[in-house]
Chains A and B, each alone.
Chain A
């Protein structure tokens, strides 16, 4: 057997192995479709069937056990529609890669998957797979497999495959392969075949017809309504991530050392946006700044904490032993900062007046953060109070940033961030 698609007639399978029949029918189908070898990419999985690469004159890609389908999907998504991608897998590969089959069918990658279902793992000595039918014997289950075998066609059809078809690996089934390859989108062709070395020997007298009938596996041809196949469709209008609003240094600061600030409140109360305004304002005042955010994985509930460092010199290391200033606007924030506050030996704790005063060696000042403009402005309000008390940089810098920010649309920035408070 040599032709345009098969260069080497000596197939790497045991005599009588069903895999040989799949290869011959594949070649016949590709001829029927008038394809040339370089129109075809054959992606093979691990298993006896996957030894076939060197026989084919098509492009060949030989991957990992169970992963031929997503590998083929990546290839198919990158190639133009005229190229045909075929993935050979076994029933073992289908089991370990079941999620890949479902995903590829669901997304409709333009791939034809041919499952060499010989109902066992041939390469490793005949262990049962998920697709081994109930009662089918293999060397490691001589009394027959317990439990049902997988119905791959039905499963993959349910995931949305364009075509799912089961055939018996006997005689000429090239028409089924041709139909699968010719179509657009995801096709699965399951070929039920015998492994003479481990399957036939342990199930004497049972034909493939008997096996599929007893297992309730219909030789059916299932389809879904046509859908466009998944291909990479590059965008051309991706803007630069560096198109950011620059900060101009319109202010100056008299800060002469590095200070660290912890701004702690509740999720949804503008802690991170206030910290960002504060950080940008500090940069506008000529300072070097770092900002990190900390919040639980459920971002909409619980604490929200921002850690800031400000320095007149470039900052390298971004963690302080203890914060110089802790600003707490809510009970969530106080709970999170509790351990930090209790360890403070110096520094200044600014606390919303609604909160209980914690034990600390730091100086403590209670102020109204939540009242002046509501909880959503509490963090910004606390930031302003810090600047009024400690003049790290001009309050006007924060006012300018807050005035530009989309987060302050409902806040009277001029009043909240006035240089002196009028209450």
Chain B
């Protein structure tokens, strides 16, 4: 074998083998998340183990409904809780997620996708929960869903998830997968940017506190329950600005609509994606989570062979940033690669009607390969 690999200058590197779970948990903790609530489920096991080691406070819940309810209590009191789960656990959390959305409680759910339906195969990876997450809030309300596409994203997006949760007073889902969380890679820890947790501001006014009175960005200020200065009312039912149950009153309907629009209005703050466009390309490859790694490889191979092709890697999955819509609309051909049967990102981007020139590369029970993506780009 010819010699190619040369030792790099190692003086400022800290090379280690790490998995995504380690970077996610460390980043969350450094960004200010302070309480980990665990209910064990594969493939979120490493997140649980690291969470209990790293977080200032950690509690083992007896089930996922309890986990989200405890977290809601912690969050109501000004803490920033995190849990990690997979589809079966997330399914149990959905009603409580709706409650946290309605009460506007910052929290993080790391959702480690695995192969379903149902219990499926706990140790097999998948990207099958995007539409579940999209439709989780009754009424189709938007809320932030972020998805790392490589190890550095695990670091960056975990931090962003904490910041977004507090800034928007909202639950945030970090949608990821077994491959991202459990596969170890060589990684230079010295390359990670420092994280400074933002100081969290609470309502400091003298007027009575109205828990749902929005600022210009549609997000209300926050004051922990138990405050010795003002009464705090939180409610899961339709309510007015003060948190009083209000049925269909105009103020209450405006509040319910605001819950959706605050995620949309502030989308630019938490929009992250990679775009790599090549002049003359008529085809855009689009892939998320670990399939983005296969897509990067496919795009590099295609370009080496002289085929012009562009790449979009969405990291903010939901709500859909307008820039994705604008980008896909510029390409006559779009290849969406993902590890599921029905093309979930494809449906999120193009709907059930689809669009001519759009094709999916899909697989279940195995990863989508770079060769499959390249073949889809080449096929006419």
Contact = CB atoms under 8 A, between A and B. Distances in A.
B69 A242 contact: no
B57 A232 contact: yes
A57 interface: yes
A279 B65 CA distance: 39
Contacts of A62: 234-237, 245
B7 A64 contact: no
A290 B225 contact: no
Interface stretch (A118-126, A247-255, A374-382): A247-255
Contacts of A287: 5, 186
A252 B15 contact: no
A297 B367 CA distance: 21
B290 A232 contact: no
Interface string B82-117: 000000000000011001000100000000000000
A85 to B, nearest CB: 9
B276 to A, nearest CB: 13
Given A53-B244, A60-B243, A232-B59, A316 B70 contact: no
Nearest to A246: B14
B226 A79 contact: yes
Interface string A177-219: 0000000000000000000000000000000000000000000
A73 B8 CA distance: 53
A232 B226 contact: no
Interface stretch (A145-153, A221-229, A317-325, A345-353): A317-325
Contacts of B75: 74
A302 to B, nearest CB: 12
B270 interface: no
B235 A51 contact: no
Given A74-B70, A238-B54, A292-B184, A317 B294 contact: yes
B347 interface: no
B117 to A, nearest CB: 19
B26 A240 contact: yes
B74 A232 contact: yes
B220 interface: no
A235 B73 contact: no
Contacts of A415: none
B297 A316 contact: yes
Contact of B185 (A54, A256, A290): A290
Contact of A285 (B2, B5, B228): B5
B209 to A, nearest CB: 10
Interface residues on A, range: 35 or more
A411 to B, nearest CB: 21
Interface in B1-47: 1-8, 10, 13-18, 22, 25-26, 29, 34-35, 42
A70 B185 contact: no
Contact of B95 (A57, A64, A77, A251): A64
A259 to B, nearest CB: 10
A32 interface: no
A254 B56 contact: no
A317 B35 CA distance: 33
Contact of B17 (A59, A232, A291): A291
B251 interface: no
Nearest to A67: B69
Contact of A256 (B1, B59, B66, B293): B1
A103 B95 contact: no
B56 A236 contact: yes
Given A59-B232, A289-B185, A247 B15 contact: yes
26 contacts: A54-B244, A59-B226, A59-B232, A60-B235, A67-B65, A73-B69, A78-B78, A232-B59, A238-B54, A240-B26, A241-B22, A242-B192, A249-B10, A252-B5, A276-B17, A276-B184, A279-B186, A291-B17, A291-B183, A291-B185, A292-B182, A297-B122, A316-B294, A319-B366, A319-B367, A319-B369
Interface of B: 1-8, 10, 13-18, 22, 25-26, 29, 34-35, 42, 50, 53-57, 59, 62-63, 65-66, 69-79, 95-96, 99, 103, 122-123, 179, 182-186, 189, 192, 225-237, 243-245, 290, 293-294, 296-297, 366-367, 369-371
User: 5 closest pairs, A vs B, by CB?
Assistant: A74-B73, A70-B69, A78-B77, A74-B70, A312-B5
